[in-house]
Amino acid sequence: MEPQRRLVEPFYFLGNRVGCLLIHGFSGSPSEMRLMGERLTEFGWSVLGVKLSGHGTSPEEMAKTNWEDWAKDAEVGVRKLRESCDIVIGVGLSMGGLLALHLGTLGIIDGLITMNAPMILADRRTRFVRFVRPFMTYVEKPKSKPVASVAKSKTASSVTEPKAERFVYERIPVDALISLNRGIRQVRSKLYAIKCPALLMQSTRDLTVNPISVEIIRKKIQQVNPGVIYWEKSGHILTLGQERDEVVLKVHEFLQRFVEKKELQQS
């Protein structure tokens, strides 16, 4: 699949002095975060959507990168936003949420928002992927299953996510998946270091990240009393799902409360 430039290139929308660092997920691209970025800009916030190394190109390029590269990309994004913003909030989807937590453990952001950040992946086979490395270089991404919902009539039906443009790999480098698992372990072991305000979001029907992940994070960072929001109708890509408009509003409200509290402290 040849990526369209608009879907995979990073984006920067200059607004006020509060910057949102939008970080996409594993094997994805900035296309997962662009719609949120455009909406947040309409509220006046500055937005930087980064493209992680090896993403938005080809699985072969991704195979040359690892967790350390992606963490460095996120850190560079913070420094870029600091050039024009006094406040930087990390906002990440899936592995992007894991990277936002990583930035929080470093103490280089002022607040963070995670969406379906992984502590435990839903597919148990991913935990043992290192054992197939001698035999396989790439694995095929599992086909998405319909998200089941129960209608008022109590009969099961499938929920169709709104169509949205997104570029993502269908083949995953085994080495990259091994590196992601390493990143999860590293971040999980350092969550106690987070001191900034946090909002954690989780789709209850996430088929990629085990929803118990958000409770693991909440307990590990209880020192900052994080907010937790569960979404009942969306799948893993929360930024493009059925509740995407409400998700943006919750991010906006978090930013508003952050600024109001900051101003109150300074007055």
Q: Which band of pLDDT confidence, cut at 50, 70 and 90, is reported for residue 243?
A: very high
Per-residue pLDDT at 66: 98
Sheet holding 18-23, edge to edge: 11-13, 46-49, 18-23, 87-93, 111-115, 198-203, 227-231
User: What are 198's strand-pairing partners?
Assistant: 112
Per-residue pLDDT at 158: 42
The alpha carbon of 63 is separated from its chain's Cα centroid by a whole number of angstroms, namely: 20
Per-residue pLDDT at 120: 96
> Which stretch of 50-54, 127-131, 194-198 has the lowest confidence by average pLDDT?
127-131
How many residues in total does the chain contain?
Answer: 267
- Threshold 0.75, pTM exceeds: yes
Residue 194 three-state SS:
coil
Q: Which band of pLDDT confidence, cut at 50, 70 and 90, is reported for residue 70?
A: very high
Per-residue pLDDT at 251: 98
Is the predicted pLDDT of residue 146 greater than 50, yes or no?
A: no
- Rounded CA-CA distance 46/81 in Å is 8
Count Cα atoms within 13 angstroms, Cβ side, for 18.
21
| Averaged pLDDT of the chain | 90
Classify 73 in phi/psi space as left (phi over 0), alpha (psi -120 to 50) or beta.
alpha
Rounded average pLDDT over 213-223: 98
Is the predicted pLDDT of residue 127 greater than 90, yes or no?
A: no
Rounded average pLDDT over 160-175: 81
Residue 234 three-state SS:
coil
Rounded average pLDDT over 105-111: 98
Say how many C-beta atoms besides its own lie within 10 A of residue 239's C-beta: 30
Residue 125: name the closest of 168, 77, 172, 163 by CA.
172
Q: Which band of pLDDT confidence, cut at 50, 70 and 90, is reported for residue 148?
A: very low
Rounded average pLDDT over 131-139: 79
